[in-house]
Amino acid sequence: MVTAYIVPGFKVADFTSAILAAILLGVVNTFIRPIISFIALPLTFVTLGLFTFIINASMLFIVSAFVKGLMIDGWIPAILGAIVLAVVSTALNMLLKDLGK
């Protein structure tokens, strides 16, 4: 939901769609992303890791194909959405780690 609020062209219809997209993104990142990352390893190495953003955007496109309430209007919103998701995820992980102490 934060990503849809920040990134123009990245739309989530409702909270249920956001939860479903988050669950499906977790499944896609668990099973499909490692295979794609391994295949793209030489390109990721040559671009000093920047190709990872393209891989993450591709995973978002895969999820948007299955979740009707998630709409991504192109590659730029998908890449920006992947960046925002990474920042939000990192911030939440740091916050939850601090709360666990």
* Structural domain spans, the chain: 2-99
pTM of the model: 0.89
Could you count the other beta carbons within 10 Å of the beta carbon of residue 15? Answer: 10
Residue % of the chain over a pLDDT of 90: 87
Could you count the other beta carbons within 10 Å of the beta carbon of residue 95? Answer: 10
For the segment 61-67, the average pLDDT, to the nearest whole number, is: 96
For the segment 64-69, the average pLDDT, to the nearest whole number, is: 95
Q: Measuring CA to CA, which residue among 5, 10, 25 is closest to residue 73? A: 10
Average pLDDT of the chain is 94
Could you count the other beta carbons within 10 Å of the beta carbon of residue 85? Answer: 19
In this predicted structure, what is the pLDDT of residue 101?
67
In this predicted structure, what is the pLDDT of residue 99?
77
Could you count the other beta carbons within 10 Å of the beta carbon of residue 76? Answer: 14
In this predicted structure, what is the pLDDT of residue 97?
85
